[in-house]
Amino acid sequence: MANHTVKVESGRAGEDGKPSVGPVYRNSLAKNGFPPLDPDMTTSWDVFRVAAEKYPNNRMLGWREIKNGKAGPYLWKTYKEVYEEVLQVGSALCHLGAKPGSRIGIYGANCPQWIVVMEACNGYSLICVPLYDTLGSGAIDYILKHADIDFVFVQDKKMKEILSSSCESARLIKSIVSFSSTTGEQNDAAADIGIKLYSWNETLRMGKEYPSEPLPPQPHNICTIMYTSGTSGNPKGVVLTHESHATYVKGADLFLNEFEDKMTTDDVYLSFLPLAHILDRMIEEYFFHNGASVGYYQGDIHALRDDLMELKPTLFAGVPRVFERLWLWVSGVLKALSELRPLRRMIFNALYKHKLRWMRLGYSHKTASPFADMLAFRKVKARLGGRVRLIISGGAPLNPEIEEFLRVTSCAYLTQGYGLTETCGLSTVGFPDDMSLVGTVGVASTYSEVRLEEAPELGYDPLGTPSRGRNMCKREDTLL
């Protein structure tokens, strides 16, 4: 761990009622100060605009059409095509009365339209407010009013909820835009509460008919208000600036460039974690920065494996529960093997221990035992689509046993970290090729400083051995 961090401030004993605090640590990438942002990449809009200029013909957003209840192959829009739609949606919003600083709600599952609206907000200095109904009963009604939302883009199957009589705050909205087409019933329901409802294609046509030039934001401008459950009461709105987002992307770039497998334009990410959460959103922005591709799941978590097999992503991010299911599947297979073919189980265990030993000695998963990968672990790799080379776990601690298992058998690097919406993603991150970090959330991320603070009622002393503290105090460029 010492190779990954630098101490920039010593700890100090508590006095005058103040608690003791441990040393302040930074990522070694920031040992001489936090790296400056690139002059042409200081906002979320810059991240997308520059990528659209550099990679106009690259595949950007992918989705699957459902016909007769069956998902077809992935269809794609290029960066150029997405950029054109972004300008059309932004222009339509301006025509409808949106001004810089207007709040734009997005309510629906991950899909290309979600990103088009998000980038339109970025390009026209509008504030994106994701709506996420699992925050609790009445959360949508509360957020619409609390965030003072002017316009809402809604997925078709969410339309009924936002137009229902129980969503009283919907009456305060100026217009609603559907991600798809609209029905007569939906139009009537919107008219009953005095709202104009537009289809997606109507909105694009409006933008073409009344074009407006982008109104780029400044780094200090608000980019998004992202709501979280908090510890009690109503959802809490976290205000994040454009600079926060650009800083995260820069930090991820510097961090991942340290490793053997560099990010390329050929990389593909499967998006199924909610875009209303910070983890998925920041991964996607990082992919866009690199001109890579993002494919969206069909909206059914039970069909996720089918999406994996079709898309064959190179990066897979999930919460521990997803990886627990994979681990349980492999455990079940191994249990069956031990009963039917005990020799195969013995071979698997022997190869596992052999590869783990070399990885603990510092060899990468690629070089530790290619023979074991080919003979014993290729089916685990295939379970994730066959091409995954980096796995990211977030949202909760990953069981160390499962983390070690995936590092050995997935034929991919794995990292987990710790972060908050308030820190625009990662505060600490594990190095994918360092086995000594298994079971931890790693070290300070590129733009973070961390330390421990005394908790005497728990017996935690940040200056003791081992050092323990109640919380990690962060001072970051990613904070508002």
Mean pLDDT by 10 residues, the chain (480 residues): 81 90 92 93 98 99 94 98 99 98 97 98 99 78 95 95 90 96 94 95 98 98 92 87 95 90 94 94 97 96 93 95 88 75 88 96 93 91 92 92 94 92 88 90 91 88 85 56
- Strands 390-393 and 413-420 turn out to be parallel
Please give the Cα distance from 39 to 46 (Å, whole number).
10
Q: Which domain holds residue 79?
A: 44-311
Statement to judge: residues 76 and 163 lie in one domain: yes
Statement to judge: residues 108 and 211 lie in one domain: yes
The one-letter amino acid code at 130 reads P
Q: Has residue 393 been placed in a domain?
A: yes
Statement to judge: residues 301 and 425 lie in one domain: no
Statement to judge: residues 323 and 410 lie in one domain: yes
Q: Has residue 105 been placed in a domain?
A: yes
| Beta-carbon contacts of residue 425 (< 8 Å; ≥ 6 apart) | 248, 278, 279, 282, 419, 478
Statement to judge: residues 292 and 369 lie in one domain: no
In this structure, are residues 177 and 154 in contact, taking their beta carbons and an 8 Å threshold?
A: yes
The CATH number given to whatever domain includes residue 216 is 3.40.50.12780
Last residue of a domain, one of 311, 336, 363: 311
Q: Has residue 414 been placed in a domain?
A: yes
In this structure, are residues 420 and 480 in contact, taking their beta carbons and an 8 Å threshold?
A: no
In this structure, are residues 265 and 290 in contact, taking their beta carbons and an 8 Å threshold?
A: yes
Q: Has residue 282 been placed in a domain?
A: yes
Statement to judge: residues 305 and 433 lie in one domain: no
| Beta-carbon contacts of residue 275 (< 8 Å; ≥ 6 apart) | 106, 110, 114, 115, 118, 130, 281, 284
Q: Rounded to two decimals, what is the model's pTM?
A: 0.94
Give residue 455's Cα distance to chain centre: 32
Cα dihedral angle (302, 304, 307, 308), rounded to 10 degrees?
-140
Q: Which of 242, 290, 317, 274 is nearest to 130 (CA)?
A: 274
Q: Has residue 98 been placed in a domain?
A: yes
- Encoding tokens for residue 83? 């950029």
Last residue of a domain, one of 311, 344, 378: 311
Question: Nearest 5°: CA angle at 313, between 312 and 318?
Answer: 125
Statement to judge: residues 72 and 120 lie in one domain: yes
Statement to judge: residues 131 and 239 lie in one domain: yes
- Encoding tokens for residue 269? 């990410």
Matching residue, tokens 């294609």: 201
In this structure, are residues 83 and 52 in contact, taking their beta carbons and an 8 Å threshold?
A: yes
Statement to judge: residues 319 and 307 lie in one domain: no
Q: Which DSSP symbol is given to 301?
A: G
With b for 16 or more beta-carbon neighbours within 10 A and e for fewer, the 343-365 pattern comes to eebeebeebbebbbebbeeeeeb
Statement to judge: residues 374 and 354 lie in one domain: yes
**Hey, which bits of 309-438 come out as E strands?**
315-318, 390-393, 413-420, 425-429
Statement to judge: residues 306 and 346 lie in one domain: no
Q: Has residue 475 been placed in a domain?
A: no
Last residue of a domain, one of 256, 279, 311: 311
Statement to judge: residues 430 and 301 lie in one domain: no
* Number of folded domains that form the chain: 2
Q: Has residue 239 been placed in a domain?
A: yes
Q: Has residue 4 been placed in a domain?
A: no
